[in-house]
Amino acid sequence: MPCRIKSWVTASILLGFNASVQAQSSITLYGVVDVDVDVSNQGHGTLVALQGGGMNSSEFGFKGIEDLGGGLKAVFDVENGFSATTGAALQNGALFGRQAWVGMASRWGTLTVGRQYSPEYVANTANDAFTHGLAGGLSNIGNTINGKTAGLLTVYSATGRTDNSINYVSPTLAGVTLRAMYGVGGVPGSISTGSTVGIGGSASWGPVGLSAGYTRNRPAGTSGVLQAFSTGGSVQFGQARVIAAITKDLNSATPGKTTRFTLENLGMQYQVSVTNRLLAQVIRLVDTSDGLPTSRVGYIAAIGLFHSLSKRTSVYCDYAQVWNKEGSAYSLGGAIYTGAAAVPNAIGRTFQVGVQTLF
């Protein structure tokens, strides 16, 4: 995952399949603990909060690989998300709510089944200069409705991790990797109800990179659909990586109303030195949802600094602003939370400082 460094603790064992063949297997324990102080003003006055995940979600997991011989390997990954400030499990309390899958890998690609990241989630992460962290991340924007704030990208939130899914990732050929996913609906009498389909891919040719992904879900109990799309590219200029992308999020699953959001972002990741990394991003947000007298436009600008104290431990800080227009009330949060309720047409300001350690 971009901007993630993991120190692996690996235990290996040898498995004998016959007198002449021995295959090596490993199980790895890994994780992140991340806490930040969030100081913000979304129009209601200054709010200071301690949050259990600013740059990354706190998590731990187990991943493994078993060499079956002949180029075939069994693979798995189970990952738990939790709040480092309360110890509470995230993802609605699921034990392994971030990921839980098993499958096979070979020279023909990797096929896995379980709870997995969608192709759109993978592309959206690659197209985000903040990789879903801090107030500059694409997925960390809150939308205030009737005094309460929820994540703006509702389709991304609902489909980013897809339950009961079958996922295929192709081998990389000429710099190109393709992804395809199908989530089984599990509804009697209808194959499509509750199902999810997703496609995506990425390409890397020298300093140029491209990423795109699309996900479509048909929820049970409605004739509407959830659709999310992300596409973008990046160019490396020495120590700087410049990213430009567009994200669309359409939710027609609520009877009588369709929400449509488009995010256009231009960002940069700059390796200032071995231990310092600078992040910056501007976002234009357009809301063309049903029921609005005119489309709403908001603007976001963010800058952050990530400083490594060691291979495992880092400190970070960032500052971001959101300019609300035409009655919009957007706010800014972090990796696992959206911002506080915002005042319509207000300028929201957020400052965050935190620490994370990896294992």
- Asked whether residue 289 carries a pLDDT value surpassing 70, the answer given is yes
Segment 174-215, tens digit of pLDDT = 999 999 999 999 888 888 899 999 999 999 999 999 999 999
Q: What is the arithmetic mean of pLDDT over 16-37?
A: 74
Q: Tell me the range of 143-152, 228-237, 254-263 where mean pLDDT is highest.
A: 228-237
Domains of the chain plus CATH, in order, are 9-358 (2.40.160.10)
Tell me the sheet residues that pair with 250: 227, 260
Per-residue confidence (pLDDT) for residue 91, from 0 to 100: 95
Percent of the chain with pLDDT over 70: 94
Confidence of residue 17 (pLDDT cuts 50, 70, 90): very low
Q: How far apart are the first and last CA of the chain?
A: 15
Mean pLDDT over all residues of the chain?
Answer: 92
Per-residue confidence (pLDDT) for residue 223, from 0 to 100: 86
Q: What predicted TM-score, i.e. pTM, was given to this entire model? A: 0.90
Alpha-carbon gap, residue 202 to 126, rounded angstroms: 9
Per-residue confidence (pLDDT) for residue 186, from 0 to 100: 87
The position carrying tokens 């992040």 is 279
Confidence of residue 261 (pLDDT cuts 50, 70, 90): very high
Q: What is the arithmetic mean of pLDDT over 217-230?
A: 94
Alpha-carbon gap, residue 128 to 88, rounded angstroms: 27
Segment 310-357, tens digit of pLDDT = 999 999 999 999 999 999 999 999 999 988 999 999 999 999 999 999
